[in-house]
Amino acid sequence: MATFDYAEMQAVAEELITEFGQIGTIKRITPPDPILGGDGTETLCTAKLVPMTYDQRYINGTTIMTTDRQIYISSVGLAVVPRVGDIAIAGGVEYHVIAADPNNYDDATNVVFIIQGRIAS
């Protein structure tokens, strides 16, 4: 039985995102120490991403709003794994990460990251 090549699917995702996407940023803000206080630490990571409008059938006005975007992010060369609380910046628009899916099926290769982004107000 042949095994599935996740690295190949990662390369295909990278190629498509590079062709149809744009360069953006993932911003992670680490909160200050709860005891010592201070300022939070901001980390910026360059990413290749594609923000896309959700299909109308998925928009319910509660969990998915009309202004939310489904953002595909290439996992190749990305320094962080996007998670809830991060901010994805695409085309100058900041999106709060509401949900994140790493698309990691073999526990070794992140094929592509798919996040739900909500416009930061």
- Region 16-44: mean pLDDT is 92
Helices (H), 39-91: none
Q: What is the mean pLDDT of the chain?
A: 92
At residue 3, the pLDDT reads 79
Sequence ranges of the domains in the chain: 6-119
Cα–Cα distance list, 37 to 28, 43, 44 (Å): 18, 18, 22
| Range with lowest mean pLDDT among 14-18, 30-34, 82-86, 89-93 | 30-34
At residue 2, the pLDDT reads 56
Q: What is the CATH number of domain 6-119?
A: 2.40.10
At residue 36, the pLDDT reads 86
Say which residues have a Cβ less than 8 Å from residue 5's Cβ, sequence separation at least 6.
none
pLDDT, tens digit (0-9, with 9 covering 90-100), for 69-110: 999 999 999 999 999 999 999 999 999 999 999 999 888 889
* pLDDT bracket for residue 120 (50, 70, 90): confident
**Contact (CB, 8 A) for 112 and 75:** yes
Q: Which residue has the higher pLDDT, 120 or 13?
A: 13
